[in-house]
Amino acid sequence: MIPYERKKIILRKLNEQDIVILDEIQKVLTNVSISTIRRDLKDLEKSGHVALLPGGAAKLLSRSTDIPITKRTTLNRNEKKKIALLAAKQVKLGETIYVDSGSTGEELLVELAKKKITLITSVTNFKLPFQNVEAQVYSLGGFVNFTNNSLKGDLTMQNIDYFNFDRAFIGASGVDSKFGYTTFDLSEAIKKKKIIEKSQEVYFICDSSKFHQVYMSSIAPLSDSVLITNDSDNIINENLKRLII
């Protein structure tokens, strides 16, 4: 099959589904390797047809649509678990901790629930082993965004005012040396900014597939917080306050 035909099939799939992961494209393009599909997607990105997303996914070009959490949880799962374990090591007994929504935040919530701390979170999908929970857990409340199992909106913002955090662990869709931490959703960016204001120590928990990605809404420059990730990148490292890998 020639590249033109493959790209037409990819665009047709994206029109049907909006966001797809590479494995889903390969099911349509049977006998075509993942590396070939990646090359086709990069060509489509250069021509302005698609946007490549963290973790091996693609969507029709837009900077304001997030990948559903049901798909993100399957992307880079081992890396996210590693990041969650590294993040959990930063937390001391008795502290008040914020955990942000997102697939890495969900992994971290499981680890931190085992500690005698106070947890506040905007995650809605609790995957906690309830018999082992030692933490006091508070939900921020608010509007439920089912795309990423997150709480946001006016009520969420009001409730943040009730807390002061020793440490906050925040997710982002993109990590870039120039544009810093960014996300698809303006209301999520505003929420994250307020959490940063209320926190003594701020960590971003992002796997390396998000490096050099830029999205619609800015959260913070790289120099304002510590990045916990699974890999190192020289350009990203130069702009960070501190790196934990």
pLDDT in tens, the chain (245 residues): 888 888 888 888 887 776 888 888 889 898 899 889 988 888 888 766 788 876 677 877 655 555 555 555 556 788 999 999 999 999 999 999 999 999 899 999 999 999 999 999 999 988 777 678 999 999 999 999 887 889 999 999 999 999 999 999 999 998 999 999 999 888 999 999 999 999 999 999 999 888 888 888 999 999 999 999 999 999 999 999 999 99
The amino acid occupying position 174 is G
Q: 183: which 2 tokens?
A: 């996300």
d(CA 21, CA 49): 16
Rounded-to-integer distance, Cα 39 and Cα 230, Å: 25
Alpha-carbon torsion 207, 211, 27, 17, what sign? positive
pLDDT recorded at residue 7: 87
CATH 1.10.10.10 segments of the chain: 3-62
- What would you measure as the largest C-alpha separation in the chain, in angstroms? 61
Written as one string, the DSSP assignment of 61-123 is S-SS-PPPHHHHTTSSHHHHHHHHHHHHTT--TT-EEEE-SSHHHHHHHHHHTTSSSEEEE-B
Topology, domain 3-62:
Arc Repressor Mutant, subunit A (1.10.10)
pTM of the model: 0.76
Pair type for strands 150-152 and 57-60: unpaired
Model pLDDT, residue 47: 67
Question: Order of strands across the sheet with 50-53?
Answer: 19-21, 57-60, 50-53
CA 118 to chain CA mean position, Å: 23
Q: Exposed, middle or buried, 67 (CB in 10 Å: 0-12/13-18/19+)?
A: buried
Report the C-alpha gap between 197 and 209 in whole angstroms.
27
Separation CA 140–CA 196 (nearest Å): 15
φ/ψ (deg, to 5) at 160? -60, -35
Portions of the chain given CATH number 3.40.50.1360 = 77-244
Alpha helices in 18-76 (DSSP H): 22-28, 34-46, 69-72
> 77-244 has which CATH code?
3.40.50.1360
